[in-house]
Structure 1
């Protein structure tokens, strides 16, 4: 196996393990076998005052105790799994079909299930070594099994608390908001003069020339990871410039181009794409689903989904929609402090090497305002929530792009709700909210309440 093939395999394995729901339970089962073997063979001398607590009686009694623990832990593990399925179904139908995977990937859920699996496998292993004929009872191992079942009781209580908390819409919104906020910090660079200079320099050389060679993908999937630094090293070693045309989280179809490469001189054709595709597979990884780790847009998609589901005729819950808009507003305000849009990577010689497409502020704002505005064109409370969001953004806006995008969305919101208000009092409230947004955009202080 070549070094490139090893790196590709390692990258795919790392990506698979990051999403694996089975990893913690399987690891718990393996550790249980190791723990059982260690405690059975342990030669530990304890004081007399402690030995009375380790006494487990006759082999028959010890076997019955451990057998009961194994049966109970498996029964409770089945119960926990059943409750998890109910929670997933409820979350999928009530909020968004993209939420169940995150609940299962929760380390808290996996650790609780792993606790029951550990207890069950450990107890089975201990039952095998309790021999009635030779009157052998591993007191320390049996006592540890008893302590494990007490831990299972505690884990069950924690799981019930976890389920009750996780099914609340406020907890779901807070979880998505927190994960997306972290992804913003990892994905985008802080807004600054150096970034603006790099953007101007990169845009001048970012156009795809006629002799560029497409980089085709062999399998369909979703762009899950893009490592800009690895791409720069690849492009620099071959004296190439690479421009990706698919963003993080976008679908890619087998046989289509995920990017284009050309020589830095722009006078000759680059190497055939087949020669570079394997190297790019290390830095650009495809998957079957999206996660919140680096995919900022996916967090926005989930929050918008919750708002749209709440506004549907079957649910009709504008309060939840406004709560989702509040979380979206927090994330949008945070985005104003980062350099958005296509990202340009330069090598050590300050040569443009890689262009990675990324959404800009206008894209994020439109993905939030437009679908919610269209889903509730006659709901005054939603109009006021949208205006409140735009007001906060207007106070936080830093660039001309921010102001321009906000002005465009404000005009659309006012046109959709101001003219369609069924009562005069609603039209007055909407007009007042729009005026507050305009005052914020102009840099004036808000009116006194």
Structure 2
């Protein structure tokens, strides 16, 4: 939430697939026309010596090949999106769409195609002259080298793009980044005292949607201008509705001030990973739940998710003891409750993997590692481990498996009493 509203808008804009493609395409067109502007500085003899007339055939080959490669790349990307939607989880597809390598590759191929088309059209009109072709030839060579480097990166990248392990890593990195950007306290328990709304002005959203960003800097300036505290009630990821306030202003405010506070909250129909570590844990648990379904039956993926989620929770535990980004004066935000984060992560895996001994044991070991690392959260973690062990013992048909789960729980958590 440290980003301002405009910074958040620019970040979202630069992630759009068309943005980089349009930017590189414009650069390619400008590069193709550059020869007409600076070609007069090249002598005719030098142009004839380096064979600049050969650029016509090179551009024709480049235009036809780049169109085919662009189409192939789009097909590969769409296949990866469809595969992730059907076999992993639809919530992770946005991370694949935002992939910078895929977007840069598509932008490079499309920009190279436009460069070649503009160059061919300009050559057919005689815009370059004999000397301007030298600039176009140099630009063509530079574009070809850039295409080769991009192709090599794309070949390496597409081999794992959209695979289960790659998607898990992306969700983990997104959750880690969200943990590093949050500037709110973390609460150990489930209880949270709401501010007394008496005498305060409620700020209502205009529609039912998800909060994706809160501009606390704007709220800080508004609080100073109004001369009253502002209590944020809806953090990123929360579903809001017109009948419930998203913020309270500790003073009487007119409609203009209320509208300014409302504008500090960015709403969307879908949750995003930014500033919302809880959503990252939800998506990770969804991946594990699908892997544990009878139709898939992939305990290895569930174990990989457990380990990735444990690393995110470790980062959260460390964040709780760090100073973080200070909030503006007179702006109050509710804490993120760690108990809810553990429920989002542990409960689906403990439920869907209760009958699989390997998954149950790995979950116990991951919780034990967290308990040893974060002593203040140890009672909460122990309760989650106990609940997971009880689910496993109730679901397993083998007595030996039940004994293994119980022994794992006792060996790791008995010493923590």
TM-score range, shorter chain: 0.7 to 0.9
Identify which of 240, 265, 269 aligns with 1:284.
Answer: 265
> Of residues 274, 291, 294 in structure 2, which corresponds to 1:293?
274
Deviates more, 1:324-333 or 1:376-385: 376-385
- Structure 1 144/319 Cα, relative in aligned 2: closer, same or farther at 3 Å? same
Q: 1:434 matched to which residue of 2?
A: 409
Mapped partners of 1:247, 1:403: distance in 2: 26
In the alignment, which of 348, 356, 368 is matched to residue 371 of structure 1? 348
**For 1:394-417, what per-residue CA distance to the aligned partner results, in whole angstroms no more than 9, with x for missing partners?**
101231xx1221232122122211
Check conservation: 2:354, 2:392, Cα contact below 8 A. yes
Query: Which structure features the higher share of helix residues?
Result: 2
Structure 1 residue matching 2:91: 3-state secondary structure: coil
Report the CA distance between 1:126 and its aligned residue. Answer: 0.9
SS at match of 2:230: strand
1:224 paired residue among 212, 221, 231:
212
Aligned to 1:209, the other structure's residue is in SS state: coil
Aligned pairs for 1:37-436 (under 5 A) are: 37-43=33-39, 44-45=41-42, 54-57=50-53, 62-131=55-124, 136-137=129-130, 138-188=133-183, 207-254=195-242, 256-263=244-251, 270-272=252-254, 274-339=255-320, 353-399=330-376, 402-436=377-411
Q: Structure 1 regions of 5+ residues with no counterpart? A: 1-6, 197-202, 264-269, 443-449
Q: Describe the shift of the 1:84–1:420 C-alpha distance in structure 2 as closer, same or farther (beyond 3 A).
A: closer
Larger relative contact order (C-alpha < 8 A, sep ≥ 6)?
2
* Counterpart secondary structure, 2:203: strand
1:47–1:389: structure 2 CA closer, same or farther, 3 Å change rule?
Answer: farther
Q: Supply the distance in 1 between the matched residues of 2:184 and 2:246 (Cα, whole angstroms).
A: 23
TM-score by length of 2: 0.87
- Provide the C-alpha distance between the structure 2 equivalents of 1:24 and 1:414, rounded to a whole number of angstroms: 49
Aligned-pair distance for 1:284?
1.8
| Residues 428 and 47 of structure 1: CA distance in aligned 2, closer, same or farther (over 3 Å) | farther
Cα distance change on mapping 1:391 and 1:172 into 2, 3 Å: same
Residues of 1 paired with 2:265 and 2:7: CA distance? 10
Deviations 1:34-84 (A, max 9, x none): 212213322454899x86884143xxx643431231121112111101110
Scaled by the length of structure 1, the TM-score of the pair is 0.81
Give 1:423 shift.
Answer: 2.0
Looking at structure 1, the residues matched to 271 and 126 of structure 2 have their Cα atoms a distance apart, in angstroms, of 57
Count matched residues: 406
After TM superposition, the structure 1 stretch with the greater mean CA deviation from structure 2, 311-320 or 96-105, is: 96-105
- Asked if structure 2 preserves the Cα contact closer than 8 Å seen for 1:180 and 1:299, the reply is yes
C-alpha RMSD over aligned residues: 3.1
For 1:119 and 1:345, the matched residues in 2 are separated by 46
Alpha-carbon distance, 1:166 to partner: 2.5
Query: Which structure 2 segments of 5+ residues have no match?
Result: none
Cα deviation, 1:267-293, whole Å, max 9, x if unaligned, reads xxx214x32233224432223433333
Equivalent in the alignment of 1:446: none
C-alpha separation in 2, matches of 1:124 and 1:373: 57
> For residues 156-203 of structure 1, what are the alpha-carbon distances to aligned partners after superposition, in whole Å with 9 as ceiling and x for unaligned?
332232121223322222222223212212214699xxx99xxxxxx8
**Alpha-carbon contact 1:322-1:382 (below 8 Å) kept:** yes
Q: CA 1:230 to 1:39, structure 2 compared with 1: closer, same or farther past 3 Å?
A: same
Which 10-residue stretch deviates more, 412-421 or 74-83?
412-421
Q: 1:76·1:116 contact (CA, 8 Å) conserved in 2?
A: yes
- For 1:225, what is the secondary structure of its paired residue? strand
Quick one: distance in 1 between partners of 2:97 and 2:384? 37
Q: Secondary structure at the match of 1:285?
A: strand
Distance 1:221 1:53 in 2: 66
1:347–1:356: structure 2 CA closer, same or farther, 3 Å change rule? closer
- Does the 8 A contact of 2:184 with 2:334 survive in 1? no
Q: How far, CA to CA, are the matches of 2:154 and 2:7 in structure 1?
A: 33
Deviation at 1:387, TM superposition (A): 0.4
Contact 1:224–1:286 (CA under 8 A) maintained in structure 2: yes
CA distance in 2, matches of 1:78, 1:347: 49
Distance, in Å, in 1 between the alignment partners of 2:347 and 2:57 is: 64
**How far 1:439 moved relative to its partner?**
3.5
